[in-house]
Amino acid sequence: MSDPEASLSAPIEQPRVAVADAGTTPSAAFGFRWRQRLEAILIPAGAIGVSLILFGVFCFFAGANPLAVYASIDKAAFGSWYSFQNTLVRAAPLMLCALCTAIPFRLGLVVIGNEGAFVIGGLCATIVGLQLPNGSPLTVQIVMALTGMGAGGLWILLVGALKYYRGVNETISSLLMNYIALALLNQAVNSWIKDPSSLNKPSSYPIPDVQMLQPIGGSLVNWGLVFGIVACLITWFLIQKTTFGFQIRVIGGNIRAARLAGLPVGPTIVIACFLAGAAPGLAGMVEVAAVQGSASESLAAGYGYSGVLVAFLARQNAFGCILVSVLLGGLLASGGILQRTHHLPDATTLVFQGIVFLTILYSESLYGRWRFFSEGKA
Amino acid sequence: MSNPAGGLGWLGVPLAILAGAVRGGTPFLFVSLGECLTEKSGKINLGLEGVLLMGAMSGYAISYKTGSPWIGVLAGGCAGMILGLIHAWLVLRPNVNDVAVGIAMIIFGGGFAFFLGKPFIQPVAPQLPSIDLGNWSADPAIRAALKICPLFFAGVALAFGMHWFFRSTRWGMFVRAVGDQPGAARAMGISVWKVRTASIVCGSFLAGIGGAYLSLFYPGSWNERVSSGQGVMAVALVIFARWNPVECLWASLLFGGAQALGPALQSVGIGGYYYLFNAAPYILTLAVMIATCNPRRSLTGAPGAIGTGL
Amino acid sequence: MIKQLLVGIAAGVAVLGTASADDLKLGFIFVGPKDDYGYNQAHAQGEAGISGLSGVKTVDEAQVPETVAVEETMRDMITQDSVSVLFPTSFGYFDPHIVKVAKQFPDIQFLHCGGLYADGKTPKNVGSYFGYIDEAEYICGIVAASTSKTGKIGFIAAKPIPQVLRNINSYTLGAQTVNPKVSVQVIFTGDWSLPVKEAEAANSLVDQGADVLTCHVDSPKVVVQTAEKRGVYVTGYHANQSAMAPKGYLTGAEWDWTNVYGMYIKLLQSGKTLENGGIPHMFRGGIKDGFVKISPYGSAVSDQGKAAAEAAKAQFMAGTMVIYKGPISDNKGKVVIPAGTSMDQKDPGLEKMDYLVTGVVGSTQG
C-alpha cells in the first residue's frame, strides 16, 4: 500500500502514524512501540556482528582462518543440543550473580560484591549442610539453599547499610568485601572446616552424593539454571510491577525526593541489598551442591565478576540478564575449541570476550541516534 | 628457633615492612596517581588492572628486545596510553557506563597482554637499576632493603607535583572543574571532553609505568600472575586517600608494607593465619573507610561528577 | 580413466582413513598456561616430546579451571576430537570432575597426574601417575647443604599439603646427610602463584641469613630471579631454570614427563589398557624409573657436592636408598617414624604426611 520509495521513517506495509497518535494508537501490524523494541534488538545484534568481524580480523593476524573459527564457535556454543547444554551450564551461575549488581543499580548503587556473596553463600551452605548427614535430600537442599541465600544476603546487606548509614562508597566496600570473603574461604577450607583426608586439595567434608542437586532429567544442566531463570523473572516482576519495586526505582531516581515523600529509604535499601546478595549466595550453594560436592578454593571461580559484566551488558534489566548470560556462556564454551582446533593460545578467548563486551558497550551510545527508531517524530 | 645466628631475627620484620613498603608500594603509587588524575576529572577507570598487565608485558618485552629497561618503562607507559585512549573514547560517549567499560577493559587488556606476552615468559629481560642507599651498612640484608629503584623517587616527586598541579595551576583547576561541575566548566568554555580524555590517557600512562615496574624491578619477572590486583585496588586506594595525591603516596606505602607483613612474620616463626594476613590491606582499608566516612558529608574531596554519568 | 582415478583416490583416502583411525589420539589438559616455566610447562614439554612419535596425535587445552569447565573440555575432547586417552594434569581435576566424566564414558581412559586412584571406589577406566620428585629434592638438598656457607636454606612453599611437605622433608633429610646442623626455613605463601609474596618471602629468608633458596610453587621463576639478584644460590623445581640464574643455579628437581608419556604410549600402542590390566592403575616412579631427574650441576657446585650427589643418585638407581628411615622426629619433638622402621617410597603413609621434620623451621598450621 505504501510507496517503497517513501521516506525512511515509514516502513513498508505500515500505515503512517500521525504525530498526535504516536504512543496512543497501537499500529496495526507490529504493536505498540515496535520501533523501540526493534532498536533494542538490532543494536545489540549489530554489535555482536561487528565484534565477530573484529575478532575475525584478530584471528587472521594470529594465524587462524576466521571463517573456520566462526564455524567452530557456532559448533561449540550453539550448534547442537550438546553444545547448547554446555552453554547453559556456563550461563546458569551468571544469571544469579548478575542480579547482585542489577538490583542495587535500581537504587542508584553500583555494587560489585557478587564474588564475595557467591563464596560466602557457598561456604555457609556447605557448613550447614554438613550438619545434616541423615536428612532427606530435599530437606538438606532446601536448608542449604536458604543458608546460602541468607549468608550472601547478609554480606551485601552490610554493603548497603554501610552506604546508607555511614556513607561508605558501595563500589569500594563491596570490592574489599570480595577479598575478605576469599580470605575467609581459604582460611576455612585450609584449617577450620578442613576434611583431614582431603590432603592435597584442601576442602571441607563432602556432601553425600545422594543429597546433591541432581541434573535436570538426563541433561548436563543442573537445577541452578532453573533457579537463575526464575530469580531473574521474579526480580523483573518485583521491580517493575510491585510497590516495593516502585520505591526502589524512586530512591534510585532521586533519593532526596524519596525521603521527602516519606518513603522508608533506609529499610528499602537494606532489604533490596539483602535480596541482591541472596542471588549469588544461592548460586554459590548450587556450585557446591551440584558441581563441586564440597567447599574448596575452586569455589572462587570468578562467576561473580562475570555477573557484574552481565548486569551492565543487560542494561540492568533482569530479563536481559538471562539473555546476556546465555551469550556469555556461549563465549566461554567456545574457548576450548579455539585452542584445540585452531591452535590459538589460551588468551584468545579473553581477547574475544573483551572485543564483544567493548562493542556492546559502545553500542549503548547508539540508542536514539537514528531517526528510524524514534517514535513518530517529524 | 626464631633468632638464628647470622640472620636479623626480629629486626627483620620492620626492615621487611619498610623495604616492602617502598618496593611493593611503587606500583600502587603510580597506578593510584594515575587513577587519581582520572577521577579528579570525573571518570572512574576500573580497567587499570588490564593497563597494568599490558604495561608489565610491553615493558618486559621491549626491555628484552632493546636491551634497555628504561625504554621498556617508556614502552609500558605508551601501551597504557593506547588502552587509555580506547577507554576514554568509549566512556566519553553518551550512555556508556564507566564501571562496565572498566571491567571489559580488564578482560581485553589482560587478554592482549597474555596473548602477546607468551614468547617473553622464558627469556630474562634487563632489569631496572637500583640506587644503593644502604652501602653504609655492612649487613647485606639492610643493603638489600635499601636498594631503591629511581622510579620510586620519580613517583614521590610526581605525588607532590600533582598535588601542586591541582591546587595551584590553571590546568589543574580545569581538571577539577570538569570533575566537580562539568556543566559550569562547559559554561566557562572548557572542553570537558578534551580535559577528560587527556586525564584518562595520562592516568593510563602512569598505570602502564607502574606495570613496567612490576616486571622490570620487583618482582622483576614477567608471567601471567605478576599482578596481585594492584590495578583494582588503586581505585580503593584513591578513595582511601580522599583524592589527594600526597595521601596516595602514604596509602601506597601502607599497602606495600602490608603485603610484606605475612612473609616477614613467618620468617621469624610466627606462622599461621596467612590467608587472613594476605587480606590485611583490604580489611585495613575497609576499617579506615568505615571509621572516617560520614553520611552527611558524603566523602569530602570526591569530585562531584563521579558516578553520575555527567 | 576417470573412474580409475576416482577408485585410486578412494583407495588412497581409505588407506589414510584407516591410518588415522589407528593413530592414538591423546588429550592433555593444563590448569594454567603452558609456558609458566613451571608445573604446566613441564607437562607441556612432555606432550611436545611425544607428539612427534609416529601413530600419535595430541590435542591440548590450557588455562582450564577446576570447575565445570574441565568436565566440558574432557567431553569435548572425547566427542569432538575423538580422543581416546585423556591426561588431565592438575591435581584438583580428579574429584569430582574426572570421576563424573569417567562414569559417563567407560570406554575412554583417564590418566590423572596425582595419586588418588582408590581400588574399588574409583571407576576402572581411571588411572593415576605421579613421580617421586622428592627423590630429586633429596639430592638437591645434598647439593644445597654442601654449597651453603651459612648452613641456612630458605624454602618458599605454596601450601602445607602432603606433596609439598614431602618435598620439604626430603630436601631437609638430604641436606642433613652433608650437614646435620643445617636449618631449612619454610615460608608458606598460601597459593600456587603469588609472585609478589614469593619475592617478599625470598627477600625475608635471605635477610634472615639463608644463602640457598628453593621453592615449591607453580612457577619458580620469581624465586630463582630474586635469588640471583640477591646473590645467593638457588635450586630449581619443575623445569630447568638455569638460564635465569647463571651464577646461582646449583641444580634442580625436574619432571621427565616425556619419558613417562613415552612409556604410556608404548603400552597403549601394544593394546594394553587400564581395563584389561595391561596398564597399572597406579603408575609411579622416581629417579630409577625415569619419572624425575636432576638438572645439570651449575658452576658453583663444588666437587665434594657433586660426589655426594652422585653417590646418592647411584643408590637411588640401585634401588637401595630409603629416604624415610627411622628414627625421624618432627620439628615439635614428636617421633613420627620410630627407630627400625622404614617407609618405602610407595608407602601410602607417606601420602598423608602432615609434619615437618626436625631441622625445618616452620609450621604446618595455617
Q: Is C315 exposed, middle or buried (0-12, 13-18, 19+ CB in 10 A)?
A: middle
Which residues neighbour A7 within 8 Å (Cβ) at sequence distance 6 or greater? none
- C362 closest CA partner among C144, C216, C233: C216
Contact C92 A298 (CB under 8 A): yes
d(CA B236, CA B244): 13
Cβ–Cβ below 8 Å for B221 and C230: no
Residue B1 included in any domain: no
Q: B262 to chain A, minimum CA–CA distance in Å? A: 13
List CB contacts (< 8 A) between A337 and chain C: 76, 80
Q: Is residue B156 assigned to a domain?
A: yes
Level-2 CATH architecture, domain C24-131+257-285: 3-Layer(aba) Sandwich (3.40)
Number of domains in chain B: 1
Q: What domains are defined for chain A?
A: 65-343 (1.10.3470)
Minimal Cα distance from A87: which residue of C?
A: C72
Reported as half-sphere exposure (CB side, CA atoms, 13 A), residue A351 has a value of 20
Is B96 a domain residue?
A: yes
Note whether residue B136 is domain-resident.
no
**Which residues from B are below 8 Å from A350, CB to CB?**
107-108, 110-111, 114-115
B193-198: Cβ within 8 A, 24+ apart:
B193/B92, B195/B41, B196/B41, B196/B42, B196/B43, B196/B88, B196/B92, B197/B85, B197/B88, B197/B89, B197/B92
Q: Is residue B143 part of a domain?
A: no
The class level of CATH for C134-254+292-361 reads: alpha beta
- Residue C134: helix, strand or coil by DSSP? helix
Extents of the domains making up chain C: 24-131+257-285, 134-254+292-361
Model confidence, pTM? 0.86
Q: Which of B85, B97, B105 to mutate to test the interface with A (most CBs of A within 10 A)?
A: B97
Q: Please state, in angstroms and rounded to a whole number, the distance separating the CA atoms of residues B2 and B7.
A: 10
Q: Which of B221, B224, B182, B223 is nearest to B199 (CA)?
A: B182
Residue C52 CA: distances (Å) to CA of C45, C55, C57, C257: 12, 9, 8, 14
Q: 169-188 in C: which are within 8 Å (CB) of B?
A: 183, 185-188
Instruction: Determine the residue of chain A that is closest to B94 in CA distance.
Output: A365
CB pairs under 8 A between B and C: 147
Give residue B168's domain range.
Answer: 25-131+150-292
**Digit-coded pLDDT (tens) for B96-154:** 888 889 989 999 999 999 999 988 888 888 888 888 887 888 877 788 888 899 999 99
Cβ-defined contact of A200 to C66 (cutoff 8 Å): no
Partner-chain residue, chosen from B20, B228, B266, that has the shortest CB–CB distance to C188: B266
Q: How far is B18 from chain A (nearest CA, A)?
A: 24
Any B CB within 8 A of C79 CB: no
**pLDDT tens-place values along chain C, 366 residues long:** 555 555 444 444 444 433 455 688 999 999 988 888 889 999 999 999 998 888 899 999 999 988 888 999 999 999 888 999 999 998 889 888 999 999 999 999 999 988 777 778 888 899 999 899 999 999 999 999 999 999 999 999 998 888 899 999 999 999 999 999 999 999 988 888 888 889 989 988 998 889 999 999 988 999 999 999 889 999 999 988 998 899 999 999 999 999 999 999 988 888 888 888 888 888 888 898 899 999 999 999 999 999 999 999 999 999 888 899 888 898 888 888 888 888 888 887 888 888 999 999 888 875
DSSP lists the bridge partners of residue C111 as: C127
Taking only the tens place, the pLDDT of each residue in A205-264 is: 888 888 888 888 778 888 899 999 999 999 999 999 999 999 999 999 888 888 888 989
**CATH code, B178:** 1.10.3470
A302 to chain C: closest CA residue? C65
User: Domain for residue B144, yes or no?
Assistant: no
Under an 8 A CB cutoff, do A340 and C77 touch? yes
Q: Is residue B5 part of a domain?
A: no
- Chain B residue numbers touching C330 (CB-CB < 8 A): none
| C221 in contact with chain B, both atoms CB, cutoff 8 A | yes
Q: Do domains C24-131+257-285 and C134-254+292-361 have the same CATH topology?
A: yes
Residue closest to C187 by CA, chosen among C224, C213, C163: C213
